[in-house]
Amino acid sequence: MSIFSLVTGRPGPSGYGSASTAELVTQGIDASNLTAIVTGGASGIGLETSRVLALRGAHVIIAARNTDAANKAKDVILNDIGNARIHVLKLDLSSTKSVRAFVDSFNALHLPLNLLINNAGVMFCPFQLSEDGIEMQFATNHLGHFLLTNLLLDKMKDTARKTGVEGRIVNLSSIAHLHAYEEGIQFDKINDQSSYSDKRAYGQSKLANILHANELSRRLQEEGANLTMNSVHPGLIMTPLMRHSALLMKTLKIFTCLLWKNVAQGAATTCYVALDPRLKGVSGKYFLDCNETMPSSYARDQKLARKLWDFSNKLVGSASASAS
């Protein structure tokens, strides 16, 4: 998509563009036979994604670290959509222990699972380590979703087999993946405070989101599973995610005001990729403004994706061993 399209909202090949809202891109779609998990569904574009999926009839599980905020979000949705089906479950993506506990809680509901929206994240936070001893942005934005997705895969495959309905996984990445570290992923310096940059660490985690989606998509296609996985850039939206850099973002917005979206527009690409029937079988792609686009060369590097997969498995294994 060109800058002109971003500014004007001119639709791309899909018929939608930067000005399209989540309600618009899902208009006429019946999702009443679908169950979806939305991480970080208590605020911002996660809340709007949850609301619109519920509006289209989906049973939505809001997975959130702050369950009080998530229950308030649930009430907001129910006030808007009286017959909405909403569950709230606790999930702290920076903790592998919490991820495993969430999956146990979800499985106890005995629900199918058609959609997994890996939306939650942290942004530009000061250097800190997770309880598993992993840099917080990498731990939360990538590793937690990596583990969550792997633990839910069998449930999604089983649901797809029994229902014949394609399952879909969506990773929320960002255009910030273009501004990761020089080598893309700092495998040997993930926890190195001396070289830490809050902006580049965020870009690294968003690059990891795309690489994760691409590698899992490749594996699912080889297996012949009726599941797709794609990544999206929602756009520039002022949300609580930016709390660590609110002044910088507000200043930036003054000079780039025409490129920013509201929350309804920010959730559009996620909802489009999750529900649009025209994307049946489309997997391993990157979407911006509801249209497929080309990510960075690092994001398209298959060797890097496989290396990240193996690296992530080792980190998850080490964290699990430490917790036991």
Q: Walk along the chain (324 residues) and give the pLDDT tens digit of each residue.
A: 444 455 456 899 999 999 999 999 999 999 999 999 999 999 999 999 999 999 999 999 999 999 999 999 999 999 999 999 999 999 999 999 999 999 999 999 999 999 999 999 999 999 999 999 999 999 999 999 999 999 999 999 999 999 999 999 999 999 999 999 999 999 999 999 999 999 999 999 999 999 999 999 999 999 999 999 999 999 987 655 444 445 544 444 444 444 569 999 999 999 999 999 999 999 999 999 999 999 999 999 999 999 999 999 999 998 877 765
- Domain of 10 in residue numbering reads as 3-322
pTM over 0.75? The answer is yes
List the catalytic residue out of 196, 202, 272, 286.
Answer: 196
Contacts of 260 (CB under 8 A, 6+ apart): 235, 236, 237, 238, 253
Task: Look at the chain and report how many structural domains it folds into.
Answer: 1
Q: Is 272 known to be catalytic? A: no
User: How far is Cα 2 from Cα 298, in angstroms, rounded to an integer?
Assistant: 21
**Closest to 59 measured CA to CA, from 40, 90, 32, 77:** 32
Query: H or E segment at 44?
Result: helix 44-55
Angular region, 154: left φ>0, alpha ψ -120 to 50, beta rest: alpha
Task: Dump pLDDT digits (tens) for 104-147.
Answer: 999 999 999 999 999 999 999 999 999 999 999 999 999 999 99
Contacts of 169 (CB under 8 A, 6+ apart): 115, 116, 118, 149, 156, 213, 216, 227, 228, 229, 230
CATH number (domain holding residue 205): 3.40.50.720
Residue 266 · residue 173 · CB < 8 Å:
no
